[in-house]
Every structure is written in structure tokens, then in C-alpha cells.
Amino acid sequence: MDFKRNILVTGGAGFIGSHVVRLLVTRYPDYRVVNLDKLTYAGNLMNLKDVEQMPNYVFVKGDICDFERVSELMNRYAIDGVIHLAAESHVDRSIRDPFTFARTNVMGTLSLLQAARNYWESLPEGYEGKRFHQISTDEVYGSLEISHSEGIASPFTTNASSEHHQAYGERFFREGDNYTPHSPYSAAKASADHFVRSFHDTYGLPVVVTNCSNNYGPYQFPEKLIPLFINNIQHRKPLPVYGRGENVRDWLYVEDHARAIDLVFHKGRTGDTYNIGGFNEWKNIDIVRLLISTVDRLLGRNPDEDMDLITFVKDRAGHDARYAIDSTKLQRELGWEPSLQFEDGIEKTVCWYLEHQDWMDQITSGAYEKYYEEMYGNR
């Protein structure tokens, strides 16, 4: 079968990556989507069971740092677009092991860039019709101050604006802001972004960069706050909250992020950057309380009866106070905006995890790691 496009998605078995792969495979049946994933602890092929038999989907187990392997895949599948999500992404892990984050996030990105450059420059048409999309994070921008007031009116209005919607300061991350990363994770992502832009400026590689805020939704690995706490509330385990839970994050439903990636990959200006945020700031402690209320209600418990599960613990080293992204450019130029109010997104997310306890059990038991051998063997 001849395909209109051949897209390489790295890290496609992870949380955000699996949503991007699913969207591309189902929305574009004339695209071949090649999912390259190393299947580290957070890579889970069970996230893609619903599309793994689709004729336009290919899974390849491999390491983005393996330059020869990546180069061979570019040639074998005639890749004309790369959507690069593969990354080590957990801040706590980066504090314990910064070397792994530098290797994967920096050297892995460089491996992909050079492989794409070499292959595309070897073609008669060169870079025409090609694109390298770097998926980055708001954490590269550093930290914003939190207003001492109880919150100020948000400058953003969208169809999905939440009743809670407020801003916790007057500054927001914008595309032209300087990078000031504060953790090994964000430093590694910042370095990768610089390499991506340098390949555009030096070689003319057609790139776009997107920086997103915190994601939540189905299939998120349960070391992250929302799925971890949903599971802990369900089983009445302690909820460890850093400091006093006053840190502020901007939250984005993962399917809205996947839609934005699709849009920027196809219609974003080459060489440009787009911020993707939920227009949706919440203090960590307020997120935890909302999760408790939602889980208790859906499980038929007394309202808020599990609030005593909250346990305040020593704050994380270098814990950024506030992230808040300005997505106005993406909204204005490409017409994107979040589709869900946050409370609706949390309700949808909690329901998914409660209804997919088997998925959570596979993760916590480690059984999901056997799925690759059962499905793909030595491929």
C-alpha cells in the first residue's frame, strides 16, 4: 500500500505519545504511523491495543540514541515527518539520575535530528514536504511568581473556561521568553530544544517546537500526581503532598494536547514555536481536594471523607513555584483551544481509571512489561 505520508512518532507507547499515535492512525488512514519506543518503565503497548492491528500502524522497539537504527528506519519507511515525544520526564527521577536524562533527552534528540537531516538531504526533493516536530515542556521557561492574592482574573477566555478559572500571577510563559530551567529534567529538554532550533538555523531543517503544560487523562503512568492519587484514594493510601501544596500548575487534557500537536505538525509555521496550555491554573492542594471529592462521590462514599489521607512531606529540591502558559498565539493563528472544563476533564479521567482497574493492576504488578514479547516476539 502506498501511503500519502510516513510519520515517525518517538515514544509512542507512552502517555502523550499513545494519544498522538491513536489520533494519527485513526484520523489519517492514508498515513503510515511508525511508533518507535524503547519500552522503558513508562512505555506500555497496552495503551495502544485498540490500534495495534490497524494496517497503517507499525511498532518498532528501539532506542532513539541508536543512530544507526534510527537512520535505517528513516530509510526503510521513507519517513517524511518526525513527531518527537520520547523523553525521560519525571523530575524526581532526574534529580536522582541526571545522566540518564541527558543521554535520552539530549543525545537521543541529536541522533534523530542528524538521521532526519542525512536522509532528507539525500532525496531529490530535499526538505520539501518534511517536518521535525519537537515536543517540549513549559518547565524549560523556569518558574513564575505566585500572586499573594487569592487569584486574579484570567486574561484568557475560551469555550472550555472553568468556573474555577483564575490566574495566580500577572506573568505567563510566552514563546519569546528566555529559557531558565531549574531541574535536570528541564535542563535536558531545554538543551534538546536548542539543538532542534540550531539544526533549523544551521542546516535549514524544517522544524517546529511546541511547549506544553502539565497533561492529565487516561493511560498516564501512575507515578504522576493525578493517576497516583486516584489510585491511592480508591485504596485509602496516604496522599504525599510536597510542602504545603501551594505550587501552581497549568493543566491540559491529553486529548486536547494531541489535537494541538496534530494541528501544529500540519499547519504551524516552519521554524516557529507554539505554547500549548490549558488556560487552567490550579494549586496542587486544590487538585488533591478535587480528586478526593470526585473519587469519593463516584465510589458512593461520604462526601470528602478521605481528606485525612493528605500527608504533607518535605518539599522537592528546586521545586518551581508556578507554571502558566500563554496559548494565545496557538489560539489566534491556528484556531485551537481546550475542549473541556477542568472539572469535566477530571471527572472523565477519574471515571476512566476507576473503570480500568485492570490496566492499573497490570502497571503496578509489572505484568504490562510482558505484553511486548507476547505480541511482537523478536520483531
What's the rounded Cα separation, in Å, for the pair 322 and 318? 12
Three cell numbers, residue 107: 543525545
Exactly one of 119, 127, 168, 185 is catalytic; which is it? 185
Helix 284-298 × helix 225-234 angle, to 10° = 40
Catalytic, 353? Answer no
What's the rounded Cα separation, in Å, for the pair 173 and 175? 7
What's the rounded Cα separation, in Å, for the pair 86 and 105? 8
For the chain, give the number of residues: 379
Question: What is the signed CA dihedral for 247, 251, 254, 260, rounded to 10 degrees?
Answer: -130
User: To which residue does cell 513564575 refer?
Assistant: 144
Exactly one of 37, 80, 138, 296 is catalytic; which is it? 138
Exactly one of 52, 139, 255, 256 is catalytic; which is it? 139
Catalytic, 337? Answer no
Catalytic, 138? Answer yes
- Evaluate the CA torsion angle 53, 57, 63, 66 in order and state its sign: positive
Three cell numbers, residue 214: 502539565
What's the rounded Cα separation, in Å, for the pair 349 and 343? 10
Closest CA to 259 of 197, 320, 338: 338
Q: Is 82 helix (H, G, I), strand (E, B) or coil?
A: strand
Strand arrangement, sheet containing 273-276: 57-61, 31-37, 5-10, 81-84, 131-137, 207-212, 273-276
What's the rounded Cα separation, in Å, for the pair 196 and 72? 21
Q: Checking DSSP bridges between strand 248-253 and strand 310-313, what pairing results, if any?
A: unpaired
The stretches of the chain forming alpha helices (DSSP H) are 15-27, 67-76, 91-96, 98-101, 108-121, 184-203, 225-234, 254-267, 284-298, 328-334, 342-355, 357-365, 371-376
Question: What is the signed CA dihedral for 361, 366, 369, 375, rounded to 10 degrees?
Answer: -40
> Catalytic amino acids?
138-139, 185
